[in-house]
Amino acid sequence: MKVAIIGTGYVGLTTGVCLAEMGHDIICIDKIKSKIEAFEKGECPIYDPGLPELVVSNYREKRLLFTTNLKEGIKNAELIFICVGTPAKANGETDLTYIKQAVKEIKEYLDHYAVVVQKSTVPVQTAQWIKQQLIEKADVAVNPEFLREGTSVQDFFNPDRIVIGTDSARANGLLTELYKPLNTPIIHTDLNSAEIIKNASNSFLAMKISYANLVAKLCDKAKADVHTVMAGVGMDKRIGKEFLDAGIGYGGSCFPKDLESFEATFKQHNVDASLLDGVRKINTEQVEYVLSLVEKTLDVKDKVITVLGLAFKPNTDDVRMSQSIVLIKKLQAKGAKVKAYDPKAIENAKKELENVEFFEDKYLALKGADLVVVATNWPEFKTMDLYKIKEQTNKVIDGRNIFDPERMKGLGFDYKCVGRNK
Using CB under 6 A, count the residues that bind ligand UGA.
20
Q: How many CA atoms lie within 13 A of 188 on its CB side?
A: 12
Residue 209, H or E segment: helix 191-222
- Report, in Å, the least distance between residue 252 CB and ligand UGA: 4
How far is 367 from 364, CA to CA, in rounded Å? 5
Looking at beta carbons only, is 311 or 396 nearer to ligand UGA? 311
Element (H, E) at 338: strand 337-341
21 binds ligand UGA (CB under 6 A): no
Does position 157 bind ligand UGA by CB under 6 A? no
Q: Does residue 317 touch ligand UGA according to CB under 6 A?
A: no
Whole-number Å distance between alpha carbons of 60 and 53:
11
Starting at the earlier edge strand, list the strands of the sheet with 371-374. 356-359, 337-341, 304-308, 371-374, 395-398, 414-417
CA angle 249, 253, 255 (to 5 degrees): 50
Distance CA 260, CA 86 (A): 13
- The correct pick among 137, 148, 267, 330 for binding ligand UGA (CB under 6 A) is 148
Least distance from ligand UGA to the Cβ atom of residue 397, Å: 16
Among 59, 262, 289, 312, binds ligand UGA (CB under 6 A): 312
Spell out the SS3 assignment of 252-318: CCCHHHHHHHHHHHHHHCCCCCHHHHHHHHHHHHHHHHHHHHHHHHCCCCCCEEEEECCCCCCCCCC
Active site residue 417: no
Span from 122-130, 141-149, 271-279, 296-304 in contact with ligand UGA (CB under 6 A): 141-149
Least distance to ligand UGA, CB of residue 236, Å: 16
For 244, the 3-state DSSP assignment is: coil
The CB-of-1 to ligand UGA minimum distance in angstroms stands at 23
Under 8 Å between Cβ of 398 and 375: no
How many beta carbons lie within 10 A of that of residue 151, not counting itself?
17
**Contact residue for ligand UGA among 7, 73, 123, 251 (CB under 6 A):** 251
Which one, 309 or 393, has the nearer CB to ligand UGA?
Answer: 309
Q: Is 250 one of the binding residues for ligand UGA (CB under 6 A)?
A: yes
Q: Using CB under 6 A, which residues numbered 201 to 220 contact ligand UGA?
A: 202, 205, 209
Choices 17-25, 36-44, 214-222, 252-260 (CB under 6 A): range interacting with ligand UGA: 252-260
Site residues for ligand UGA, 173-202, by CB under 6 A, read: 202
Residue 328 binding ligand UGA, by CB under 6 A: no
Active site residues: 254
Residues within the interface to ligand UGA (CB under 6 A): 121, 145-149, 202, 205, 209, 243-245, 247, 250-252, 254-255, 312-313
